[in-house]
A and B are shown apart, each in its own frame.
Chain A
Amino acid sequence: MLEFTIRRIAATIPVLIGIVFVIFSVLYLIPGDPALTIAGPRASQATVERIRTEMGLDQPFHIRFFTYIKKVASGDLGTSVLTGRPVLKSICEKLPYTLKLACVAMIISVVLGIVMGIISAVTKGKLIDRLCTILSVTGISIPVFLSGLVFLYIFAVKLRWFPASASSPIMLKNPLMAFLLPAFTLGIRSAAFLARIVRSSMIEVLNQDFIRTARAKGLSPWRILFRHGLFNALVPVITVIGLDLSSYLNGSVIVETIFDLPGIGRFAMDAILQRDYPIIQGVVLIGALIFIIVNLLMDLIYAWINPKIRDEMMGKSAA
């Protein structure tokens, strides 16, 4: 396990450096002079030159890249072009909103997805299974912005259960309410995805010999289903939950725009519209970093639960 852990962590380091390299290169290649943008249109040539030297923009590519890596490693993601605030500080302020949103969405998705998946697997081939399949395919296919707008229309405009904007005063008093509708929008999408995985994984497990043995022993159907079936079926689900995290980050860009939540997705979107490059750079970097760390953890948990997989992964990476 230790060797696996070390190998797995070692494999992420080049990926991390590569990500920083890509993000840096994209920004390096954008047309336009950052020094000119910062100095403003009326600045003199000398001022622009001074800013350029201060920021190290006159240095060659590789030197600027290593300076950038050093800065990133020490937690300095630069400052916003427009407001001059440190990017990392802004991200730390906005991130909790998105994390809360993702957590509520994840709870909704895991509960709904597992329940639907089990019902589907147990009633395999019957009408209920078909209905669940139709529901989950629809859930996966409906764009987040459509379901978000439809929920907003039904629950906020027609039924008036929730205010339309998540940052309205009532919402601030009851923060859970604010997250419920957007989290539901995000959650049902991954619930639909999860239901499919749980269904196929459960069907596979229920066909195994040890389930037949458990039945032959005369154990109660519920005990077989949950203790023997679900427990084993959930193993592949762990990886899916990890991969889902990136869908939350993607979804948060749209959901936070629709529901007016001040999270990281909205922050990135605003920065993009205002062409505030350091912020975009920072958000993409943090997003990728979170994704890598979570998937690393998921892989480790996965390998820890299932040693068979661990050997397979080791064999693969050695090949």
Chain B
Amino acid sequence: MNISPEKKQVLKKTALNRLTLAGKLSLLGIILVTIVAIFAPYISPHDPMETNPERRWADASGYPLGCDNLGQCILSRIIHGARLSLLIGFASRILALLIGLIVGLTAGYFGGWLDWALMRVVDMFLAFPSLLLSIAISMFMGSGLGTVIFAIAIVGWAEMARIIRSATLELRSAEYVVAAKTLGATDLRIMLTHILPNCMPIITVIFTMGMATAVLSEASLSFLGLGVDPSLPTWGGMVATGKDFMISNPSLVIYPGLCIAFLVIVFNVFGDELRDILDPSRKGNF
């Protein structure tokens, strides 16, 4: 399928126009958080790592949301936390997508015993209690950015593989695929140039929806102290620190907690909207 750039422009335009108000607002929310994350060092009023015992709990001027138990600026930590949330969420989704694509395309395209075997592996990964598996992996591999990304991706790829496989299964018997085969195209070429582009709508949907899950998983791992280095500003980590001081100072939990909820909500709503537009057959379900 070859779409001219002008036609692409029109398609994009209509897709954007078909978003409801909630969809547009959630897209705006995603863009907003992304901008905040990219420009974090320029936006945040203070260094998120700078501690000062004199400023503990202080509502000093210049610290809009106050300071935490170490005198670190809460607002600055929240702004920098957006970076890690988005980075880890995005990277783990990309990794999950890569594995899911390879497994899903192979299983759906070739079928037979290979499909059967690969799908049993997928079943296996779906059966593991996902958070426990993530926790166990981050435990075994030691804390660090790469570990967290890997731990989240390893539980996310199976669902992607399953959905890509069923999309491939449908496309496999499409006329243009049969035509390409008759013309002597290699399997790899058919998979990459004929099947993959037609899977893109569904891939976009599951990618966006999965971002919500990935952000939640990262926050949960950080909350349990198994995310990236605990001194780094992450929203989940901030809630974990705040919970010990919740009775005297609930805002320490509330602010970062609301940020997590906000980011997850916008990804959920936007993914839901995308699905209604790109994959109407599954409308209404999450």
Q: Which residues of A contact B (CB under 8 A)?
A: 11-12, 14-15, 18-19, 22, 26, 29-30, 137-138, 140-146, 149-150, 152-153, 157, 193, 196-197, 199-200, 203-204, 246, 249-250, 253-254, 257-258, 268-269, 272, 275, 280, 283-284, 287-288, 291-292, 295, 319
Report A-chain residues with C-beta under 8 Å of the C-beta of B220: 143-145, 254
Q: Contact between A143 and B219 (Cβ–Cβ < 8 Å)?
A: yes
Query: What are 9 A-B pairs with beta-carbon distances under 8 A?
Result: A15-B123, A19-B124, A141-B212, A141-B268, A146-B239, A149-B243, A257-B224, A272-B139, A284-B136
A319 to B132, CA, bound (A): 34
- Give the total of B residues in contact with A, Cβ under 8 Å: 46
B1 on the interface (CB 8 Å rule)?
Answer: no
Q: Contact between A149 and B246 (Cβ–Cβ < 8 Å)?
A: yes
Known A26-B136, A146-B260, A287-B132; contact A254-B223, beta-carbon cutoff 8 A:
yes
Q: Contact between A193 and B223 (Cβ–Cβ < 8 Å)?
A: no
Report B-chain residues with C-beta under 8 Å of the C-beta of A29: 140
Q: Contact between B136 and A197 (Cβ–Cβ < 8 Å)?
A: no
Report B-chain residues with C-beta under 8 Å of the C-beta of A258: 243
B12 on the interface (CB 8 Å rule)?
Answer: no
B203 on the interface (CB 8 Å rule)?
Answer: no
Least Cβ–Cβ distance between A128 and chain B, in angstroms: 16
B51 on the interface (CB 8 Å rule)?
Answer: no
Q: Contact between A138 and B284 (Cβ–Cβ < 8 Å)?
A: no
Known A15-B120, A153-B250, A249-B132; contact A143-B261, beta-carbon cutoff 8 A:
yes
A152 to B254, CA, bound (A): 13
A146 to B242, CA, bound (A): 11
A197 to B282, CA, bound (A): 11
Known A19-B124, A143-B264, A149-B257; contact A137-B135, beta-carbon cutoff 8 A:
no
Q: Contact between B139 and A275 (Cβ–Cβ < 8 Å)?
A: yes
Report A-chain residues with C-beta under 8 Å of the C-beta of B257: 142-143, 146, 149-150
Report A-chain residues with C-beta under 8 Å of the C-beta of B285: 196-197, 200
Least Cβ–Cβ distance between A300 and chain B, in angstroms: 16
Give the dominant DSSP class at A's interface.
helix
Q: Contact between A142 and B261 (Cβ–Cβ < 8 Å)?
A: yes
A153 to B243, CA, bound (A): 10
Report A-chain residues with C-beta under 8 Å of the C-beta of B216: 141, 143
Q: Contact between A250 and B132 (Cβ–Cβ < 8 Å)?
A: yes
Q: Contact between A291 and B127 (Cβ–Cβ < 8 Å)?
A: yes
Least Cβ–Cβ distance between A109 and chain B, in angstroms: 15
Known A284-B136, A319-B111; contact A143-B129, beta-carbon cutoff 8 A:
no
A269 to B127, CA, bound (A): 19
Considering residues A12, A22, A272, which has the most beta carbons from chain B within 10 angstroms of its beta carbon? A272
Q: Contact between B129 and A291 (Cβ–Cβ < 8 Å)?
A: yes
Known A14-B120, A143-B260, A200-B285; contact A250-B239, beta-carbon cutoff 8 A:
no
Q: Contact between A137 and B269 (Cβ–Cβ < 8 Å)?
A: yes
Q: Contact between B139 and A200 (Cβ–Cβ < 8 Å)?
A: no
Q: Which of B219-259 contact A (CB under 8 A)?
A: 219-220, 223-224, 226, 236, 239-240, 243, 246-247, 250, 253-254, 257
B43 on the interface (CB 8 Å rule)?
Answer: no
Q: Which single member of A18, A141, A157, A250 contacts B131 (CB below 8 Å)? A: A250
Q: Contact between B136 and A269 (Cβ–Cβ < 8 Å)?
A: no
Q: Contact between A18 and B264 (Cβ–Cβ < 8 Å)?
A: no
Report A-chain residues with C-beta under 8 Å of the C-beta of B137: 26
Q: Contact between B212 and A149 (Cβ–Cβ < 8 Å)?
A: no
Q: Contact between B124 and A18 (Cβ–Cβ < 8 Å)?
A: yes
Q: Contact between B250 and A196 (Cβ–Cβ < 8 Å)?
A: no
Least Cβ–Cβ distance between B65 and chain A, in angstroms: 17
- Please, which residue of chain B has its CB at the minimum distance from the CB of A20? B124
Q: Contact between B127 and A196 (Cβ–Cβ < 8 Å)?
A: no
A44 to B219, CA, bound (A): 44
B176 on the interface (CB 8 Å rule)?
Answer: no
Report A-chain residues with C-beta under 8 Å of the C-beta of B226: 272
Known A141-B261, A145-B220; contact A199-B284, beta-carbon cutoff 8 A:
yes
Q: Contact between A280 and B136 (Cβ–Cβ < 8 Å)?
A: yes
Report B-chain residues with C-beta under 8 Å of the C-beta of A137: 265, 268-269, 272
Additional A-B contacts beyond A197-B285, A319-B169 (10; CB < 8 A): A141-B212, A141-B261, A142-B257, A146-B253, A150-B254, A253-B135, A258-B243, A268-B132, A280-B132, A292-B127
- Please, which residue of chain A has its CB at the minimum distance from the CB of B243? A149
- Please, which residue of chain B has its CB at the minimum distance from the CB of A254? B220
Q: Which of B192-234 contact A (CB under 8 A)?
A: 212, 216, 219-220, 223-224, 226
Q: Which single member of B129, B140, B223, B265 contacts A249 (CB below 8 Å)? A: B129
A19 to B223, CA, bound (A): 27
Q: Which single member of A196, A288, A295 contacts B284 (CB below 8 Å)? A: A196
Q: Contact between A246 and B130 (Cβ–Cβ < 8 Å)?
A: yes
Nearest first, the 10 closest Cβ-Cβ pairs linking A and B are A200-B284, A250-B131, A141-B264, A146-B257, A287-B129, A141-B265, A18-B124, A249-B129, A288-B127, A15-B123
Report A-chain residues with C-beta under 8 Å of the C-beta of B131: 250, 253-254
Report A-chain residues with C-beta under 8 Å of the C-beta of B284: 196, 199-200, 203-204
Q: Which single member of A150, A157, A250 contacts B129 (CB below 8 Å)? A: A250
A29 to B239, CA, bound (A): 33
Known A141-B261, A199-B284, A319-B111; contact A153-B246, beta-carbon cutoff 8 A:
yes
